[in-house]
Structure 1
Amino acid sequence: MFVNKAYRFRLYPNKKQEVLIAKTIGCSRFVFNRFLSLWNESYQTTGKGLSFNFCSSQLTQLKKELEWLKEVDSHALQSSLKNLADSFDRYFKKQNEAPRFKNKRNNVQSYTTNIEKKNQNPEVSIAENRLKLPKLGWIRFANCREVKGRILNATIRKSPSGRYFVSLLVETEVKEIPKTASTVGIDVGLKDFAILSNGKVYKNPKFFRALEEKLAKAQRILSRRQRLAIQQKRPLSEAKNVQKQRIKVARIHEQVVHARTNYLQKISTEIIKNHDIIGIEDLQVSNMIKNRKLAKAISEVSWSEFRTMLEYKAKWYGRQVIAVDPRHTSQKCHSCGHTAKENRQTQAAFICVSCGHSENADINASRNIHELAILL
């Protein structure tokens, strides 16, 4: 089976390449905003929007008027128009909100270039620790793994900390892994991240809590420097001490995100490889984080991201992920089936008031999830 897979690498551009990346991001944002404005005007006056082909032809004329648009990768500008068209398609299908204007102050700045050309030499090449990209030429990158498949496009991003990354989208073939004849249910929690029905427990490392004090201290320093710059009537973008501290804060956030993502990738892959059918709870996380007391803890564990990883990896490798109704899974006795709030004695203890069955509450819940998944 052929699937689209992304490979993400750290980029190390030189000063000239950094300037060109900044120009390309700015031009892509300009094109997106320009045609979004035209699209909105057309819809208000005629009741119809603009097609991608019309926008593409107008872009050709615009490049004749604005010479600086020719300095950057033309594929990136076309990609902005495709993103705009796709956004409106999804909007009219009620899959997302209407497209909004892009802001240069967004945390992450990026552009996408389509680098595939039929019957021609590809515009991207990899040679050891160097990557060739349109307009940028050869650029150093952290080549930590082999890229397998046909490269479709590349997205270059600049993070809030000033680091550069490239995501290569490739079309590659994945094969189903051997069956294990094993099924499992997973109960996610806050004390322990995931508890499997076979008794295996994945701890919750709490990456954010580990760096929370360091982050708070860095944010206080940033706040003081911002107030001082405002008192001195200096733009924050020109205050060097403010920008230095802003980067320190951003890097702490990135450290948390990267550590959490790496952990989720590892355990999701391990679960998918070892089990044919995986039962999970169909949790509405967006509603759960409305609880003020638990919002921070729930956001930190990233249950939704974990479920997404399980689902796409199951599709790749011939596994099955089944989401079950989460109601009563923690209150139902796995032994006799009796359901009552009183069964859950504490956060960790489960004692059935009907049959007296006693075990860890999370393991009992995961076994109920496993049972429901098998029945579906």
Structure 2
Amino acid sequence: MQSKDIAKEFPFAKKLNSSARQASAERAWQAISSFYTRCKKKEKKKGYPKFKKNTRSVEYKVSGWKLSNDCMSIAFSDGFNIGTLSLYCNFETREDLFRLKINRVRVVKRADGYYAQFCFDTDRSEQGEYTGNVIGLDLGLKYLYKDQNDNAVVYPQYLRKSEKRLKKLQKRLGRKFNKDKKPQSNNYHRTRKRLSVLHLKIQRQRKDWAIKQARCVVHFSDVIVDEDLKVCNLVKNHHLAKSISDVSWYQFTTWLDYYGKIWNKAVVSVSPNYTSQDCSNCGHRVKKSLSTRTHSCSVCQTEICRDKNAAINILKKGMSILGMEWQNSEKRGLGVSPSKAIFQDSTFGQKESASTEEKHGEKTASAIEGKPNIVSGFL
């Protein structure tokens, strides 16, 4: 489907700028192409593209919009007569708008207003500082993660904290809904908007927390090993689904990969199979339920925290993928790096990006070059 076909089939699309119709057609073709790619890979969820009549975003290329000379406002020229809109953003963002070449502008509707996203090409790679530290992360619910040194980060549980307010607003919204009345009352829409804004706040809190924690982990480590968890399968457990969704494991690991590419750090995701069951000291498999929080090995008499044991196994798996060997030096009494690791590979200090492993559930990150960056401003 091309831009002209969209304008012929849907009358409202004629009012759009031609570049906006082209961008919509490109996104549609991209969705179809991704669907066929998933079919070839024989994935369970193919994700057939769905037609969305009322979208919450519109994208313009080089035409159909114009920034003011001081970058304080943006004007749109199409049949919808949007006109000129004021831009609210910080000083650094306004400087970027002055000096960088903007490729596309996207207007997005959120629960609390409209946002303009400016897309441009920039080199995000930075020179990371070599620390000599390695870290293995065992992701959890009470703690966001626990590493091989028994250091843990407690997750704030943003959804649980806002649950009372959510229930109150949902109950109020249910009372104001009248199935025989269309459209609904203004009070209904005001309550619906307040509920949407609260959900948006929780979403932003999760994202902000994930970004800060991922940045901190990557900044102070040269090799980061985490679990390649299948969250879509884990949430099928309805006793833990809410907590799993709240802790946002996938978002955290995504930002780990992102900052790993920027700073040229090795970020490795390994299969989580038997990381909690296998003994990190001798390798003996000790079966235990989820309620058992202490790992006790009957062979080597090791007794440590279950999560710490898993973090050590995860780190060993990741280091073996990179062609290195890691040994826990706590019992050896050796003075080594802050991560208490012994490196058996002399090329580690060169910080080479890791090669991709073809095993299932194991992947590594490489350097990023010329990746498009997005800057948002409030309209």
Q: TM-score range by the shorter chain?
A: 0.7 to 0.9
Aligned to 1:196: 147
Residues in 2 aligned to 1:301 and 1:165: alpha-carbon distance in whole angstroms: 26
Q: 2:52 aligns with which of 99, 102, 107?
A: 102
Aligned to 2:119: 169
What is the 5 A alignment of 1:275-354?
275-342=221-288, 346-354=291-299
Residues in 2 aligned to 1:284 and 1:314: alpha-carbon distance in whole angstroms: 21
Shift of 1:124: 4.0
Q: Which has the higher helix share?
A: 1
| 2:163 alignment partner, SS class | helix
What is the 5 A alignment of 1:60-139?
62=8, 71-94=15-38, 96-104=46-54, 109-115=56-62, 123-124=66-67, 127=70, 130-135=72-77, 136-139=83-86
Root-mean-square deviation (CA, aligned residues, Å) is: 2.7
Give the conservation status (yes or no) of the 8 Å contact 1:124–1:134: no
Larger RCO, structure (CA 8 Å, separation 6 or more): 2
Give the gaps of 5 or more residues in structure 1: 1-49
Alignment coverage as a number of residue pairs: 305
| 1:246 alignment partner, SS class | helix
Q: One-letter code of the match for 1:359?
A: I
Residues in 1 aligned to 2:68 and 2:203: alpha-carbon distance in whole angstroms: 29
For residues 244 and 57 of structure 1, do their structure 2 counterparts lie closer, same or farther at Cα, with a shift above 3 Å needed? closer
Shift of 1:347: 4.2
Residues in 2 aligned to 1:125 and 1:375: alpha-carbon distance in whole angstroms: 55
Aligned to 2:320: 375
Residues in 1 aligned to 2:156 and 2:143: alpha-carbon distance in whole angstroms: 9
Which deviations, in whole Å up to 9, do the C-alpha atoms of 1:31-87 show, x marking residues without a partner?
Answer: xxxxxxxxxxxxxxxxxxx4xxxx234457x49x96x75654332222111112222
Q: One-letter code of the match for 2:311?
A: S
| 1:168 alignment partner, SS class | strand
| 2:38 alignment partner, SS class | coil
Give the gaps of 5 or more residues in structure 2: 40-45, 78-82, 322-379
Residues in 1 aligned to 2:20 and 2:74: alpha-carbon distance in whole angstroms: 15
What is the 5 A alignment of 1:261-276?
261-276=207-222
Shift of 1:373: 0.6
Q: 1:215 aligns with which of 166, 190, 215?
A: 166
Shift of 1:307: 1.3
Identity %: 25
| 1:336 alignment partner, SS class | coil
Residues in 1 aligned to 2:34 and 2:282: alpha-carbon distance in whole angstroms: 47
Residues in 2 aligned to 1:202 and 1:144: alpha-carbon distance in whole angstroms: 33
TM-score normalised by L of structure 2:
0.73
Any runs of at least 4 consecutive aligned residues in structure 1 with deviations exceeding 6 A, and if so which? none
Give the conservation status (yes or no) of the 8 Å contact 1:73–1:134: no
